[in-house]
Amino acid sequence: MIDYEVLRVIWWLLVGVLLIGFAITDGFDLGVGALLTLVGRTDEERRVMINTIGPHWDGNQVWFITAGGAIFAAFPMIYATAFSGFYLALFLTLAALWMRPLGFDYRSKLTNPTWRRAWDWALFAGGIVPALIFGVALGNVLQGVPFTFDEILKVTYHGSFWALLNPFALLAGLVSVAMLLMHGSVWLQLKTADRLFERARGLSVLLGLATAALFVLAGIWVSVGIDGYVLVGAVDGLAASNPMNKAAVLESGAWLNNYGRFPLLIVAPLLGIGGALAVAWLSLGCRSGWAFVASSLSLAGIIFTAGGSMFPFMLPSSANPSMSLTVWDASSSETTLMIMLVVALIFVPLVLAYTAWSFWAMRGRILEQDVTDAKAHTPY
């Protein structure tokens, strides 16, 4: 029987896996959307780009919805507190994401160039805005979010929307944008040909280098310019969740402590940097398949670097460090986590199998002729 402490760690890992799955699958279609007005020069080229993600984008959203549902069910305090603090930012994210189904459906309804350009920019916003906000949110989490609890665990957020747009958070947002644009450009390498392929290949080189450079810069900033959080005294990993029953303090360089405790954790940032550099190198050699693998590993490394550096903290409080939410005091009950684990072991493999099958079934490059041929019946 798995005990409560281990269950909490398992669900911390599973939430991380779901977020990485979302970044890898939905990340490339966010990236393609954001690149639509940059890479696509003609209506036909933009139709090709849209059709590369058309069969996949809605299925990819499953990872996003599942990750949100997992956080809600496994770590409800994290979900509630994050939505209190980032409410407006998350609303803007959802509003931008709404532009994608609308753009995919309505763009092709009229052939009017103005109509189609308007929806192209809507799809651009639907890709770039979520990518930026996800990174800005993570940048704020690494610095600590200004919230407190009262005696009945009612949360109060003490910050403002504009305070979220601080220099480090904006840098984290640029890392997020660069890595998802990189992922989208590599996807276009896999799925297009001729001029689109060449433009996407050139962008992949630049974006791979930019992602690595920005990620290194953010890591240096975290190591020398941002105080991390440290638990004071022993913590009972088997106790019922209550963020009021611990003590925590800010400490310079604390986000690097886990690399001394768990040396294998260094693999995560090395993957983040090495994967992005490998994208640039492999793209130069026209090895698109391996470039996509490298891009996926880079995204996984970057995301797990943030989570691994903060463990066991999940949502630190800058207003009162001792009220920070951790793996040990923000989770659901042992029974809930156990039931969820059984469900996850059944359905996550099914989602993986369906996702793999859909990508295999839709394999191959899309050409301009495919979208201009009346017999092709492309939907976008």
By CB atoms closer than 10 A (0-12, 13-18, 19+), residue 48 is buried
Q: Which amino acid is at 306?
A: A
DSSP letters for 29-52? HHHHHHHHHHH--SHHHHHHHHHH
Question: According to the model, what pLDDT value does residue 369 have?
Answer: 83
Question: According to the model, what pLDDT value does residue 15 have?
Answer: 95
pTM exceeding 0.75: yes
Question: According to the model, what pLDDT value does residue 57 have?
Answer: 86
Question: According to the model, what pLDDT value does residue 258 have?
Answer: 96
Numbers of helices and strands, H then E, in the chain: 13, 6
Contact partners, residue 14, CB within 8 Å, separation at least 6? 70, 74, 341, 344
What DSSP designation does 236 have? -
Tens-digit pLDDT profile for residues 83-125: 888 889 989 999 999 999 999 889 988 889 999 999 999 999 9
> Residue 196 has which token pair?
């689109």
Task: Give the residue carrying structure tokens 């979900």.
Answer: 79
What DSSP designation does 229 have? E
**Measured at the alpha carbon of residue 69, what is the angle toward residues 324 and 22, in degrees to the nearest 5?**
95
Strand partners, 156: 148
Q: Average pLDDT of each block of 10 consecutive residues along the chain (380 residues)?
A: 92 94 92 93 92 87 88 94 88 92 89 92 94 95 94 89 93 97 96 93 96 97 94 88 92 94 95 97 94 97 96 95 95 94 91 88 85 66
Question: According to the model, what pLDDT value does residue 234 have?
Answer: 84
What share of the chain has pLDDT > 70, as a percent? 98
Q: Please give the helix or strand (H or E) that residue 266 lies within, else none.
A: none
> Residue 248 has which token pair?
């925590």
The Cα–Cα gap between 179 and 177 comes to: 6
Question: According to the model, what pLDDT value does residue 379 have?
Answer: 67
Give 70-111 as a 3 state SS string.
HHHHHCHHHHHHHHHHCHHHHHHHHHHHHHHHHHHHHHHHCC
Question: According to the model, what pLDDT value does residue 52 have?
Answer: 92
First-to-final CA distance of the chain:
51
Phi then psi for 252, rounded to 5 degrees? -60, 130
User: From the CB of residue 63, how many other CB atoms can be counted at a distance below 10 Å?
Assistant: 22
Closest listed residue to residue 306, CA positions, set 136, 183, 80, 139: 139
Question: According to the model, what pLDDT value does residue 378 have?
Answer: 65
Domain residue ranges of the chain, discontinuous segments joined by +: 4-372
The Cα–Cα gap between 139 and 142 comes to: 5
Strand partners, 149: 155
